[in-house]
Amino acid sequence: MIYNSPRGTTDYYGKDIKYIEFILNTAREMFKIYNYEEIVTPHFEYTEVFARAVGENSEIVQKEMFTFQDKKGRSLTLRPEGTASVVRAVIEHKLFGENLPLKLFYAGSMFRYERPQKGRMREFSQIGVEAIGSDSPAMDAEIIWLLNSLFKNLGFKNLKLHINSIGCPQCRKEYMNVLEKYLKPYEKDLCADCLNRIGKNTLRVFDCKVETCRKILKNAPKISGSLCEKCKKYLQDIFDILKVLDIEYFHNENLVRGFDYYTGTIFEIISSDIESAQNALGGGGRYDDLMEEFGGPKISSTGFAIGIERTMLLMKDLGIILPNFKNKTSKVYLINMSSRFNEYLFGILKFLRHNKIICDTNFNMKNLGKEIKWAQTEGYSHVIIIGENEVSNNLLTIKDLNNFTQMQLSWLNEKAKVLDLLK
């Protein structure tokens, strides 16, 4: 009996792991430079946490959550996104001290019950940051800067930041009226989902993928027309900092994002190298009311998230190759000619690994020529041959695979030379 992984999940190995490792390492390194600290939250929460944060009427909560009951009958949900859990944790542990903003990042699996397609799996991983406790436009600018630099460092080019403001509660309320008035004459042409959204969560109509709805919405009034002076000034302040940072931005008045918790600034980073409609690399925005809604203090926050596997697929599609680590570091393959030499072998392995030299050995005995060939294709820089002659004379035969020179050193009194050669 051969089993397959469940629908919407996949296994990653080989080259994919190298991409994933590169993306995660680059992100972690940058988060450190920008002074964000890691937070780890559970993979599941009480269902209410997501229903409340993401929104009862959102696509995610209504259709895409992995919800189940535990043995005590409590409703739990595998996390469909990262922000709700972080906010729940910050409030639960009262992490909002005097030193605000709290700058956090997270990485891990998320789960959404969607129709699986390329770049959209039921289990996928995200890495994201949350800056909790600042209502300054400088905070928005920093988050955007970090997102933009991250993709730059991953090798993406022709990046453009799309940014919009969905306003404060006051101007959003005014906009809802304007939008509802505009939609009224089209009610018979809207899909059932959109009709249902009107009045409850009217902004969500912009998420609709139905062609007739999209056509109607194309000419809908923009929220920028309803922004109050304060919200306009806020957006302008962000633009001014982005200019200093040389970040190319575009005020995309049609931009909305699929979570209920967003307030004010929202943004997406787009690469013009991607031709499909789904050209956003990652995005985020402000969620100034979420802390309070979760029973915490009124603290303004902002954040972003990026999909790891999606980023990997885009890197492959765009032909972004991973930086070649092979030439930078030595990688040594010890070819042991017989299990009789295991003790000798492990002495050398111990010495090399202690000195942080990447090395491995053949655990199964094959022939020398094949082993050397294999080491070459795997990107090893050196092989060390351990045979009868080496062991009885306390020698190391070291072959440099870049130029095929070979030399013998004494294992007893030339250890420093060995390191010099391999480092």
Question: Least distance to Zn ion from the beta carbon of 296, Å?
Answer: 23
Please tell me whether residue 220 binds Zn ion under the rule CB under 5 A. no
The piece of 1-9, 191-199, 270-278, 314-322 that touches Zn ion (CB under 5 A) is 191-199
Nearest 5°: CA angle at 38, between 88 and 95? 45
Please tell me whether residue 208 binds Zn ion under the rule CB under 5 A. yes
Write the single-letter amino acid at 106: Y
- The DSSP secondary-structure symbol of 117 reads B
Q: Which residue has the tokens 């991953």?
A: 154
Our CB check for Zn ion shows the closer of 106 and 261 to be 261
Our CB check for Zn ion shows the closer of 77 and 263 to be 263
Our CB check for Zn ion shows the closer of 191 and 358 to be 191
Our CB check for Zn ion shows the closer of 208 and 357 to be 208
Question: Least distance to Zn ion from the beta carbon of 277, Å?
Answer: 16
Angstrom distance (rounded) from CA 149 to CA 91: 30
Among 213, 314, 337, 384, contact with Zn ion (rule: CB under 5 A)? 213
Please tell me whether residue 176 binds Zn ion under the rule CB under 5 A. no
* Phi, psi torsion values for 298, nearest 5 degrees: -80, 100
Please tell me whether residue 39 binds Zn ion under the rule CB under 5 A. no
Question: In the Cβ-directed half-sphere of 69, how many Cα atoms lie within 13 Å?
Answer: 4
Among 101, 128, 167, 296, contact with Zn ion (rule: CB under 5 A)? 167
Please tell me whether residue 166 binds Zn ion under the rule CB under 5 A. no
Q: Count residues contacting Zn ion (CB under 5 A)?
A: 10
User: Cβ(337)–Cβ(388) under 8 Å?
Assistant: yes
Please tell me whether residue 194 binds Zn ion under the rule CB under 5 A. yes
Please tell me whether residue 178 binds Zn ion under the rule CB under 5 A. no
* Phi, psi torsion values for 345, nearest 5 degrees: -60, -50
Angstrom distance (rounded) from CA 140 to CA 241: 10
Please tell me whether residue 168 binds Zn ion under the rule CB under 5 A. yes
State the angle between helix axes of 308-317 and 15-33 in degrees (0 to 180), rounded to the nearest 10.
110
Question: Least distance to Zn ion from the beta carbon of 191, Å?
Answer: 4
Our CB check for Zn ion shows the closer of 79 and 172 to be 172
Our CB check for Zn ion shows the closer of 183 and 418 to be 183
Please tell me whether residue 191 binds Zn ion under the rule CB under 5 A. yes
Our CB check for Zn ion shows the closer of 188 and 354 to be 188
Angstrom distance (rounded) from CA 239 to CA 272: 20
The piece of 223-231, 240-248, 317-325, 334-342 that touches Zn ion (CB under 5 A) is 223-231
> 162 to each of 1, 227, 253, 254, 283, how far by Cα in Å?
50, 17, 9, 10, 9
Please tell me whether residue 231 binds Zn ion under the rule CB under 5 A. yes
Question: Least distance to Zn ion from the beta carbon of 287, Å?
Answer: 16
Please tell me whether residue 137 binds Zn ion under the rule CB under 5 A. no
User: Cβ(64)–Cβ(116) under 8 Å?
Assistant: no
Please tell me whether residue 210 binds Zn ion under the rule CB under 5 A. yes
The tokens for 418 are 């060995």
Pairing of strands 395-400, 382-386: antiparallel
The piece of 103-111, 166-174, 269-277, 360-368 that touches Zn ion (CB under 5 A) is 166-174
Our CB check for Zn ion shows the closer of 95 and 198 to be 198
* Phi, psi torsion values for 60, nearest 5 degrees: -60, -50
Our CB check for Zn ion shows the closer of 89 and 210 to be 210
Q: What is the DSSP string of 132-201?
A: ES---HHHHHHHHHHHHHHHHHHT--SEEEEEEE---HHHHHHHHHHHHHHHGGGGGGS-HHHHHHTTTS
Our CB check for Zn ion shows the closer of 140 and 390 to be 140
Question: Least distance to Zn ion from the beta carbon of 208, Å?
Answer: 3
Among 84, 289, 302, which residue's Cα sits nearest to residue 170? 289
The tokens for 109 are 């699996």
The piece of 56-64, 184-192, 308-316, 372-380 that touches Zn ion (CB under 5 A) is 184-192
Tell me the H-state helices in 288-341: 290-293, 308-317
Please tell me whether residue 195 binds Zn ion under the rule CB under 5 A. no
Binding-site ranges for Zn ion (CB under 5 A): 167-168, 171, 191, 194, 208, 210, 213, 228, 231
